């Protein structure tokens, strides 16, 4: 069964980026000159996904505008004969079919995924979190689709993290499978302290989920902060279905916090043909 649909939860408050996110969504913060969410949607497209479902909330209109046609801008660029910029702008709106669903209150990632239930229907689907940008030869989601094709169960992307960082992630307990990069999940723990973490394999923002996750999310109780956590929904699903974890090939940039975002900005800028050489010279001149 092919994965045709992808859900992009983008309704969080983005408090770690305040004040930048007071009046604009964190998904629209640019890494060099492209909003974070566009990198992730490009990965979905490169993986063959046809339907993008973005879960938005209050103050997220900029995301819809970004993927919509911008008549005035296109007309002005056409009149000025700025063909390359016109193509750049048109390519974004003609990229792919995007639908939107609203999460009225930020009640957690699990709740955001649940908001896409009607649009997803009864088929396995992908979830992408914009905080994680993965650079790889084969798109990370394509790699996961291959694992899904054989296992036919929910697949979580994982990556080893330093012990002191487990408290920032959902962490899996596992039995290592025959292949070194695929694990059978035996439990999931949300943000464990290092001494309580069942492993150092953290769940990264890419998932393939079976549609049964929805009924489990519906039954999942809010946590102490009043949020429905996806990890808790997955825990409940695990009692009924196997879940596998996959250590993807590629380099992940955690753009969900300020330092990670800065690191990604520097690396992406250095890789650019038009900006890299000048930027490198500048960094060297800083004599850090």
Out of 3, 6, 10, 157, the residue judged to bind ligand UTP by CB under 6 A: 10
Please list the helix, strand and coil fractions of the chain in percent, rounded to the nearest 5, in that order: 40, 25, 35
Q: Name which of 234 and 269 has its Cβ closer to ligand UTP.
A: 234
Does residue 110 interact with ligand UTP by CB under 6 A?
no
Peptide bond into 33 cis (omega under 30): no
DSSP assigned state of 227: -
DSSP three-state, residue 270: helix
Give the x/- contact pattern for ligand UTP in 241-260, rule: CB under 6 A: ---------------x----
Three-state SS letters, 79-104: HCCCHHHHHHHHHHHCCCEEEEEECC
Nearer to ligand UTP, 27 or 183 (CB): 27
Stretch that binds ligand UTP, among 45-53, 124-132, 208-216, 260-268 (CB under 6 A): 124-132
224 is a contact residue toward ligand UTP (CB under 6 A): no
Phi and psi torsions of 201, nearest 5°:
-90, 110
Q: Under the criterion CB under 6 A, does residue 213 sit at the interface with ligand UTP?
A: no
Nearest to 247 by CA among 173, 143, 153: 143
Which string of x and - marks every residue 37-76 that binds ligand UTP (by CB under 6 A)? ------------------x---------------------
Among 5, 12, 49, 143, binds ligand UTP (CB under 6 A): 12
Contact residue for ligand UTP among 41, 44, 112, 244 (CB under 6 A): 112
Q: Which residue is nearest to ligand UTP (CB)?
A: 12
- CA-nearest of 237, 239, 242, 246 to 202 is 246
Q: How far is the CB of 102 from ligand UTP (least distance, A)?
A: 10
Least separation in angstroms between residue 104's CB and ligand UTP is 10
Of residues 104 and 271, the one with the C-beta less far from ligand UTP: 104
User: Residue with structure tokens 């604009």?
Assistant: 24
Q: Hey, how many other C-beta atoms are within 10 angstroms of the C-beta on 139?
A: 22
| Strand 170-176 to 182-190 pairing | antiparallel
The least CB distance from residue 10 to ligand UTP, in Å, is 5
Q: Residue 161, Cα to own-chain centre: how many angstroms? A: 18
Q: What is the nearest approach in angstroms of ligand UTP to the Cβ of residue 172?
A: 18
Where is 174: in which H helix or E strand? Answer: strand 170-176
Closer to ligand UTP by Cβ: residue 130 or 139: 130
* Cα 80 → chain centroid: 36
CB of 128 to ligand UTP, least distance (A): 9
- Tell me which H or E stretch contains 181: none
Please report, as ranges, the residues that interact with ligand UTP according to CB under 6 A. Answer: 9-17, 55, 103, 106-109, 111-112, 129-131, 256
């Amino acid at each position: 069964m092919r994965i045709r649909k992808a859900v992009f939860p983008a309704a969080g408050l983005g408090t770690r980026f305040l004040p930048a996110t007071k009046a604009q969504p964190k998904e629209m913060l640019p890494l060099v000159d492209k909003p974070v969410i566009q990198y992730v949607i490009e990965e979905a497209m490169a993986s063959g996904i046809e339907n993008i479902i973005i879960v938005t909330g209050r103050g997220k209109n900029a995301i819809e505008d970004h993927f919509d046609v911008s008549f005035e801008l296109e007309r002005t660029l056409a009149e000025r004969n700025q063909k390359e910029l016109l193509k750049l702008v048109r390519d974004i709106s003609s990229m792919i079919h995007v639908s939107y669903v609203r999460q009225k209150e930020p009640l957690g990632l699990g709740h955001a995924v649940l908001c896409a239930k009607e649009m997803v229907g009864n088929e396995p689907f992908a979830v992408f979190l914009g905080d994680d940008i993965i650079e790889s030869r084969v798109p990370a989601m394509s790699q996961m689709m291959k694992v899904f094709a054989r296992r036919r169960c929910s697949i979580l992307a994982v990556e080893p993290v330093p012990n002191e960082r487990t408290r920032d992630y959902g962490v899996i307990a596992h039995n290592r499978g025959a292949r070194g990069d695929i694990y059978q999940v035996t439990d999931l723990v949300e943000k464990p302290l290092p001494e309580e973490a069942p492993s150092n394999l953290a769940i990264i923002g890419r998932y393939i989920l079976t549609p049964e996750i929805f009924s489990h999310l519906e039954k999942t109780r809010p946590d102490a902060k009043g949020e429905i956590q996806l990890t808790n929904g997955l825990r409940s699903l695990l009692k009924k279905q196997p879940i596998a974890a996959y250590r993807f090939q590629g380099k992940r940039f955690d753009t969900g916090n300020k330092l990670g975002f800065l690191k990604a900005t520097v690396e992406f800028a250095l890789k650019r043909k038009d900006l890299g050489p000048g930027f490198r010279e500048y960094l060297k001149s800083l004599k850090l």
